[in-house]
Structure 1
């Protein structure tokens, strides 16, 4: 097998018998509707000479294949599936997803064991709480206690395992994490209760706390289950983008033939053909064909986008219908999808500054807790030895810093996920805190407030009906794919023109039914006396229509500016374009503070001047020629998609191009800060209120366990409000 083939198979294939043996690959199958489809797929693949085993799971639509890549090519496997009426893509995320599945399954089993046995222990312990004096015989009471002890053993050995292993790792690393007091509290409670069971007259007293212990473990595992779910949802979102690229692309040769190659083999300038239902393997430009493309995975926009010749397409988006020929412009690390993956990985792996401070506070707090518990146990040993262990355990449990250490990560990660669903990807989580202080939003114009397309602003003619000429011009413009012509046509159907000819740099010309030659294009080409106020002209001889095309503001630009003002933000427009164009855009969006003809140096000076006056600036640009001013701003957001993703140092990337995400981000940042403060305040209040109660002996271990688990659950659920 060639080295290139091995590299292609590596992300989704394992080699049980070594590189020269059989390969075990995972695929995701599309087009399955019932269990019978599994048999069809398996039969089709088993006909191939190098396939040993083909197994399809109808529930998950995943194919497990054991085969010899040296005998049959990957392209042949995919082609066999397509011939059978199905599509398949290699499942590169299978190993990570399997690890998460195992982690989730094990966590659920631990929670089930702890919860189920907790109910049984509570059932056995209830008679001791409700029986009147003399109603429960000592033999029956002792038998019920032994039953509680037996049922608690699986909780200690299996369900509580993560706490003990986590505490051991933390102690070996010389750190005091939140697992240390939890594990110590569980162990001390179990040992003390076991001693009381075996020797009721001994130094550990006669009280047992197996019901409190099992409930404590169950509640804490429930809180961790919610935390695990939040982590896995973030990983699933990342995989959805990372796995959006196909594993093979159809590259067109110069002689008209084609070949299937991995995306890594594509180069800038290659031509690829993308059939209906396939994903684009690279960023590029449509060279032939037209159809609808779903870019929801990358931009968050669910509505399909029409694509025709000249339109840009991004890797990972799905061609919904028709066949498109695409000229490759960006490959590998420069593609939009890979840039998004890197940004998401960078954001999800970051630890915000506040989180690090909280972790250090929690470590010191844990040390104080251990000393408090030890001191309380020694003091109560002299006061009332039978209660010393219970009070020390209650102090350990009630002061566990779970809520404190979960407060910041739960809020930050939930907020970043909520912004990602709105199309705003955070590369730096600390930007959320800085967004709270912003009072000035500065926009670039071209590519930021304006779309890539143009729109007709006004038209005029001398000695002719301008509206009638405009209708004729639109019908001719429909025959051209030039951006100016497409903006003018605006969906108008093409007319009955003959001898149509398009000249590069000039425009398009054609003859009408009477044989007259009409031209649409550069004013100097259409007329001997061009109107300098026009960008485009249409005419025949002395009959000329002048057209002024302008940049179109984004669909939600006006709403975004209005929403920012409603939040108390100053909105400024800073552009290097001509004053007339900038004034038109500012007027259309009701922006009173604008500056035109700004160079990168003057933009930088302007932002620094506003900052010197005490303003906190959020700069929104396209990342192309705004690097200096973006670097100087307090918060930096880059618009659009492209190769700059791989090298952008912006705080966030607006992949959806929806400007309403900006006021939403500012509002969510302030809400995140409120939620974070609520979480920290709750953790502080909880400890301040419960520690004295535990030290005084008024808070039994059962109540302490409920309070500690409830506090952890509170901060996680409170952070989930940011998803709304």
Structure 2
């Protein structure tokens, strides 16, 4: 029977809302696959999960729905990612399949997740309270039987106390232990054995045998009752699960904090400057929006009226306000602190930087790390061995001492429940992910932590990565013989309007430099194309082909040395194969770039500057950074070839970049990091996004990755040692059920507590400078 709808669930009469395309944009991303068909990727919050085996049951239920391409469920993150075809199925069908499997699902939004966490936590606390309270009363009634000697306790009083213990154990069996029985039933119904099966079997056998001993002391179960062991065992296990739930919720709050920064509505301005309040879901690029002081910016946008300061702490982890002059870019979710301003929307919904970061976190929390997948493969065989051991122990003890056969089997079932082993890797990885997220480094792939510990060489892109993304425009050169129809100011305005189509740091700097120039937005471009590593090209209203980028791209016959910008960055501008202007820029190192390179080298990593810039400029930058090697003039193809060659030599390599031309290398590297302000395609290919834009966070990530793998090994060693010691004790009858329950719960608590050490706020290492303001 399905539970009634509550917070975090989807009521049956409201399921059709999930099929509204506008509403789906809150938790679904749409794209087109190689075959040209539309594919939806939805993030769902799953409720009712109690162990890792539940993830497999939900995946099987969803994959049986026609039109579902892939379903990935994370038990530790309590989230699901479902890729489905809108033309063949509906999201309501997927949710109905999850509910039919005995669970529930809701859109993964901040409100639903928060309410679902509150409900789950409240239920967990109540279950623990009932089990602990009843367990204390049962222990009080069992005490006379333990302390009395001889005939001090009359048989009728002993029987009365046993009846009272049985009555107090009923709420524990019916309510407190409910998750174990429902989880076991789900697994058996799907013909899979999960961790709840031995727990439920042990609890049920203990209760049935104790009940038989209570109402028929001369029967086959004897006269000994173990209601105290039963209630204590359930209490210990529920306490462990409550702490595990809190640990998962602490990680989930990272997403909630980010989404809480987004406003529900925005003040959109019409052509006459009149404002109307609309849902942020209705904003489109080009809209003009007024943002009052204290309100979050509803989309990624450009300041068109006024100047202000913005709090971007939810993206960078830094609480210092950032100055936003006229023409500056603002990101969705940051808070307007200075003055009321008007912005022009550039990107909305899932295209914004904030939603991109949230999507990365959802993906990371929906993944099963390789360590967890390896554990899943042998979990089922291990549980079969446990059941066989319990049955064998019962058979042997039925010959040696029939009165102890049941209790020995129960102890074996309880002590071998692999809860601690299943929590060893996920709890550590999620704790580390939470600490990195609060610092401003968002993991898209949890396995990146494991990969980063084995890295031997790390490649850095130059422009926008080791240099500050905000380049400074210093001036222009007019080239002799070039096409110059309208003067320098007009050339700057036209080039800037085309540069606005790109996210490359040089293009963004050029667009920002020309923002005050009248007519910058008046140019209409057609057939705009961006060629990675080369530049932009487009046709104007008259059909002329204009290019902005490298000298050889703009004018194939132009030697780059003929227009040298004195070692500074430059882009060329021209039409019809002739360059008319060279725009010059100064680039500066990020404040922590040199310290980051030195810290990584001190940790034994080779640091290589891999840049598409001219070799002489790349070499000068390499000298300033003191890297091991510099490779300049690299195209996307040569960058990929360099990384592939290093991997062929047996090296484990990492890549840090930000541009479109870095995307293939980011995808190929063993571990990859994209700067938060970089191109969307590069962020999509990277294992992690440095949303803080602090290179020093890479050093923190490397150190934390090493500590995380050490904690995982500690957890696994402890769990394996615990089972190796306690299983023989249970088999020989030296470990009663109450002690087995206490040991199993304590083992899980130690694993969780050990992992939570990784969630502490990260501080810069001793060889790193203070965090730049």
- Whole-Å Cα distance in 2 between the matches of residues 363 and 279 of structure 1? 49
Q: Given the alignment, which residue of 651, 658, 661 partners 2:697?
A: 661
> What is the match of residue 378 of structure 1?
395
- Whole-Å Cα distance in 1 between the matches of residues 620 and 280 of structure 2? 43
1:617/1:634 contact within 8 Å kept? yes
Q: Given the alignment, which residue of 339, 342, 345 partners 1:328?
A: 345
> What is the match of residue 424 of structure 1?
441
Q: 1:114 to 1:557 in 2, by over 3 A?
A: same
Gaps of at least 5 residues in structure 2 are 1-8, 18-107, 475-504, 510-515, 521-562, 570-583, 761-773
Q: Given the alignment, which residue of 549, 557, 565 partners 2:601?
A: 565
* RMSD value, Cα: 3.0
> What is the match of residue 636 of structure 2?
600
Q: Given the alignment, which residue of 702, 717, 725 partners 1:689?
A: 725
Aligned pair 1:437/2:454, yes or no? yes
Superposition map of 1:195-594 within 5 A: 195-454=212-471, 533=566, 550-594=586-630
Aligned pair 1:614/2:631, yes or no? no
Aligned pair 1:174/2:210, yes or no? no
Deviates more, 1:278-287 or 1:253-262: 253-262
- Whole-Å Cα distance in 2 between the matches of residues 229 and 595 of structure 1? 48
3-state DSSP of counterpart to 2:236: helix
Q: 1:561 to 1:647 in 2, by over 3 A?
A: closer
Q: 1:646 to 1:338 in 2, by over 3 A?
A: farther
1:340/1:645 contact within 8 Å kept? no
3-state DSSP of counterpart to 1:113: helix
Displacement of 1:395: 0.6
Superposition map of 1:132-143 within 5 A: 132-143=149-160
Number of equivalent positions: 570
Q: In the TM superposition, what whole-angstrom CA distance separates every residue of 1:195-242 from its partner, at most 9, and x where no partner exists?
A: 112222221122111111111000000000011112222332212223
- Whole-Å Cα distance in 1 between the matches of residues 347 and 247 of structure 2? 34
- TM-score by length of structure 2 reads 0.69
Q: 1:192 to 1:251 in 2, by over 3 A?
A: same
Q: 1:242 to 1:585 in 2, by over 3 A?
A: same
Displacement of 1:383: 0.8
> What is the match of residue 161 of structure 2?
144
Deviates more, 1:689-698 or 1:570-579: 570-579
Q: In the TM superposition, what whole-angstrom CA distance separates every residue of 1:111-158 from its partner, at most 9, and x where no partner exists?
A: 011111111212222222233434333333332222222211111111
- TM-score by length of structure 1 reads 0.74
Deviates more, 1:267-276 or 1:370-379: 267-276
1:343/1:427 contact within 8 Å kept? yes
Aligned pair 1:714/2:750, yes or no? yes
Displacement of 1:549: 6.6
Q: In the TM superposition, what whole-angstrom CA distance separates every residue of 1:6-34 from its partner, at most 9, and x where no partner exists?
A: xxxxx999999x99xxxxxxxxxxxxxxx
Displacement of 1:264: 2.8
1:205/1:385 contact within 8 Å kept? no
Q: In the TM superposition, what whole-angstrom CA distance separates every residue of 1:409-446 from its partner, at most 9, and x where no partner exists?
A: 21222222222112111111122221121111110011
Displacement of 1:623: 3.5
> What is the match of residue 542 of structure 1?
none
Displacement of 1:251: 2.1
Q: Rg larger in 1 or in 2?
A: 1
Gaps of at least 5 residues in structure 1 are 1-10, 20-90, 458-482, 488-500, 506-529, 537-547
- Whole-Å Cα distance in 2 between the matches of residues 300 and 14 of structure 1? 40
- Whole-Å Cα distance in 1 between the matches of residues 517 and 217 of structure 2? 101
1:282/1:332 contact within 8 Å kept? yes
3-state DSSP of counterpart to 1:264: helix
2:408/2:736 contact within 8 Å kept? yes
Q: Given the alignment, which residue of 167, 172, 175 partners 1:155?
A: 172
Displacement of 1:535: 7.0
Q: In the TM superposition, what whole-angstrom CA distance separates every residue of 1:517-566 from its partner, at most 9, and x where no partner exists?
A: xxxxxxxxxxxxx9964979xxxxxxxxxxx9731211222222122122
3-state DSSP of counterpart to 1:425: strand
Q: 1:359 to 1:612 in 2, by over 3 A?
A: closer
2:254/2:438 contact within 8 Å kept? no
Q: 1:450 to 1:646 in 2, by over 3 A?
A: closer
1:335/1:643 contact within 8 Å kept? no
3-state DSSP of counterpart to 1:625: helix
Displacement of 1:588: 2.7
- Whole-Å Cα distance in 2 between the matches of residues 533 and 189 of structure 1? 84
> What is the match of residue 545 of structure 2?
none
- Whole-Å Cα distance in 1 between the matches of residues 282 and 177 of structure 2? 50
2:657/2:682 contact within 8 Å kept? no
> What is the match of residue 510 of structure 1?
none
3-state DSSP of counterpart to 1:552: coil
3-state DSSP of counterpart to 2:258: helix
3-state DSSP of counterpart to 2:134: helix
Displacement of 1:646: 9.4
Q: In the TM superposition, what whole-angstrom CA distance separates every residue of 1:642-680 from its partner, at most 9, and x where no partner exists?
A: 661697122111111111111111222222211112222
> What is the match of residue 635 of structure 1?
671
> What is the match of residue 671 of structure 1?
707
> What is the match of residue 118 of structure 2?
101
2:301/2:343 contact within 8 Å kept? yes
Aligned pair 1:644/2:680, yes or no? yes
3-state DSSP of counterpart to 1:620: strand
- Whole-Å Cα distance in 2 between the matches of residues 133 and 13 of structure 1? 61
1:576/1:598 contact within 8 Å kept? yes
- Whole-Å Cα distance in 2 between the matches of residues 330 and 532 of structure 1? 33
- Whole-Å Cα distance in 1 between the matches of residues 653 and 669 of structure 2? 6
